[in-house]
Chain A
């Protein structure tokens, strides 16, 4: 009897709702159009954010190139004779607390420098305007205990050009150290050492429900009508990776992290192109041959010594920047395992670089040999986005896509990035190898 009741109830429900009437169709259509409009806007914003950032970086790079070209035209190489040195425009006092020496430099005069003597001349020397004007920010701030060498803006009111760094180091060399540390003219620091050449490209992808182009009205319609068709082949993903760096000196054991957004555009059933940006931290350990650091350490370590020799300068670099990959991806059509291969290039722009230099200095004194270990910390975060390197690394990776329920998929992708260009003030060639985890977002999440 219950079965009969159930059957009749079922049939009645079916018949009732097969002819169900609802008079709210017009209201429903309006809400449908609003929903479609919201989805298009959201998809457009999600597509344009990574692309816009990459485009902005590219524009900044182009502007930087233009400025660099202008600077190169006005900048002239510094001519340094053995004993005649051009001076900055203001007086600088350098005090060596340990030795209580004071070196006075007349900015507007040529100074003839001999081994332990400084004499003044009355001859007036003009310095190029470009050198004075381009002296705003030094490439480096050197901090040694209580000493602020050269351009630390908080300690010294004087803005000193990079040329003057060389000037100061040469003065200290000639006046203090009998050992021949005199730099050659090739070691002269020019004002543009902080500039780098680079380029960047991007594209981004998002999957969406299709709607007619003119399903809504308004200004947005024209703005996104064309790219909306393209958006159908696009997909967005959140990327997190962990990796280790390697340089010519070997593998750095520090574990680095990167997070970012990757967008993918499908070219065909098997091929796609991906881009985006990753904020990452790079580390590297290397042996530095920076003469400025060596001289600074020598100056610091030298007390009653007759001579001081730098035996080792070991540096640890910490670079924070944005990696912008551009890669082509081949995806298999295997039913069991969804695997893919990807290859391409990454551009890179620096946000912050920090170097921890461990310098070992041997002092030769009349009483014996003494070894000092000096740590110099150098940080530069003044030139955001100015160190944009096009195709800094060559990338290669393989991976698998794991579906996550019916909504997203997770890609696990071991990768290697081989350096093609240098990065940072120390011109490091840093490669990396690690694994990336990418959560691919699809349309279901944007309901």
Chain B
């Protein structure tokens, strides 16, 4: 059964949400749920944490939607809310986590052709193998476009540390991609 508000645009849904229309909120939730989960899963260890983060983000969204300007696009604004919620939920874990040096096999030359074979679940597995702080900084800098200064302010770390962690994250991702996918790619060939 088709949702009665499924034909409405994002802006029209926002206008209805401002009037505390539950059906409009439900429609907006379901429309942006996958988008929010895609962002949240990159930051959170497991799916339950990711869903908790997504719901927190939607709570903030509906609270501040009345101040949202109609001319703006909702997606970038909501993206920021989700990222901030994910950081808040992961922040407490950063205090208790220790950075472990993962030893990998000898580094093989990176093969760019492998990358296109990697699907979303593989990416999440790769990110899960990174230490918490590395994963956060990689997501913030490489995927969500935060600068090192912004990251240092958010995570309360020096910007030099942010650069170091990012470099280590990228090194490890290269190694992980090669270790997990290079052999399979060679076998396929």
Check if A and B associate. yes
Q: Are B20 and A2 in contact (CB under 8 A)?
A: no
| Chain A residue at minimal CB-CB distance from B60 | A209
A223 contact set on B, CB distance < 8 A: none
B115 contact set on A, CB distance < 8 A: 5, 8-9, 12
Interface flag for B148 (CB, 8 Å): no
A17 contact set on B, CB distance < 8 A: 38-39, 41-42, 120, 123, 143
Q: Are B56 and A447 in contact (CB under 8 A)?
A: yes
Interface flag for A18 (CB, 8 Å): yes
**Interface of chain B: mostly helix, strand, loop or mixed:** helix
- With both chains docked as a complex, state the minimum distance between the C-beta of A231 and any C-beta of chain B, in angstroms: 12
| Chain B residue at minimal CB-CB distance from A39 | B59
Interface flag for A29 (CB, 8 Å): yes
Q: Are B20 and A22 in contact (CB under 8 A)?
A: no
B30 contact set on A, CB distance < 8 A: 25-26, 29
Q: Are A32 and B38 in contact (CB under 8 A)?
A: no
Q: Are B63 and A210 in contact (CB under 8 A)?
A: yes
Interface flag for B44 (CB, 8 Å): no
Contact with A along B53-81 (1 / 0, CB 8 A): 01110111011000000000000000000
A9 contact set on B, CB distance < 8 A: 115, 173-174, 177
A21 contact set on B, CB distance < 8 A: 34
B33 contact set on A, CB distance < 8 A: 22, 24-25, 28-29
Q: Are B112 and A5 in contact (CB under 8 A)?
A: yes
Q: Are A32 and B55 in contact (CB under 8 A)?
A: yes
A36 contact set on B, CB distance < 8 A: 59
A20 contact set on B, CB distance < 8 A: 34-35, 37-38, 41, 120
Contact with A along B161-189 (1 / 0, CB 8 A): 00000000010011001000000000000
Interface flag for B98 (CB, 8 Å): no
**Complex interface: stretch among A180-188, A191-199, A212-220:** A212-220
With A29-B26, A32-B55, A35-B55 as given contacts, are A22 and B143 in contact (CB-CB < 8 Å)? no
Q: Are B38 and A22 in contact (CB under 8 A)?
A: yes
Q: Are A32 and B120 in contact (CB under 8 A)?
A: no
Interface flag for A126 (CB, 8 Å): no
Q: Are B29 and A28 in contact (CB under 8 A)?
A: yes
* Total A-B contacts with CB atoms under 8 angstroms apart: 105
Q: Are B112 and A25 in contact (CB under 8 A)?
A: no
Q: Are B38 and A18 in contact (CB under 8 A)?
A: yes
| CB-contacts of A248-299 with B (<8 A) | none
Q: How far is the CA of A235 from the CA of B35 in the complex (A)?
A: 33
Q: Are B62 and A210 in contact (CB under 8 A)?
A: yes
Q: Are B20 and A213 in contact (CB under 8 A)?
A: yes
Q: Are B22 and A215 in contact (CB under 8 A)?
A: yes
Q: Are A22 and B119 in contact (CB under 8 A)?
A: no
Q: How far is the CA of A20 from the CA of B29 in the complex (A)?
A: 15
Q: Are A13 and B143 in contact (CB under 8 A)?
A: yes
Q: Are A6 and B38 in contact (CB under 8 A)?
A: no
- Quick one: which of A13, A26, A211 contacts B59, CB cutoff 8 A? A211
A215 contact set on B, CB distance < 8 A: 22, 25
A8 contact set on B, CB distance < 8 A: 112, 115
Q: How far is the CA of A14 from the CA of B26 in the complex (A)?
A: 26
Interface flag for A10 (CB, 8 Å): yes
- With both chains docked as a complex, state the minimum distance between the C-beta of B143 and any C-beta of chain A, in angstroms: 6
Q: Are A32 and B58 in contact (CB under 8 A)?
A: yes
Q: How far is the CA of A352 from the CA of B31 in the complex (A)?
A: 61
Interface flag for B4 (CB, 8 Å): no
Q: How far is the CA of A10 from the CA of B118 in the complex (A)?
A: 12
Q: Are A29 and B29 in contact (CB under 8 A)?
A: yes
Q: Are A32 and B29 in contact (CB under 8 A)?
A: yes
With A211-B59, A215-B25 as given contacts, are A31 and B20 in contact (CB-CB < 8 Å)? no
A334 contact set on B, CB distance < 8 A: none
Interface flag for B21 (CB, 8 Å): yes
- With both chains docked as a complex, state the minimum distance between the C-beta of B25 and any C-beta of chain A, in angstroms: 6
Q: Are A2 and B55 in contact (CB under 8 A)?
A: no
Interface flag for A123 (CB, 8 Å): no
With A20-B35, A29-B30, A215-B22 as given contacts, are A209 and B63 in contact (CB-CB < 8 Å)? yes
Interface flag for B142 (CB, 8 Å): yes
- With both chains docked as a complex, state the minimum distance between the C-beta of A2 and any C-beta of chain B, in angstroms: 6
With A6-B170, A12-B116, A212-B25 as given contacts, are A22 and B37 in contact (CB-CB < 8 Å)? yes
A16 contact set on B, CB distance < 8 A: 118-120, 123
Q: Are B120 and A212 in contact (CB under 8 A)?
A: no
Q: Are B142 and A4 in contact (CB under 8 A)?
A: no
A39 contact set on B, CB distance < 8 A: 59
Q: Are B62 and A212 in contact (CB under 8 A)?
A: yes
Top 7 A-B pairs ranked by shortest CB distance? A20-B38, A212-B20, A17-B38, A210-B63, A5-B110, A25-B33, A22-B34
Given contacts A210-B63, A215-B25, could you give 10 more A-B pairs where the C-beta distance is less than 8 Å?
A5-B110, A5-B174, A8-B115, A18-B35, A20-B35, A21-B34, A24-B33, A28-B51, A210-B62, A212-B21
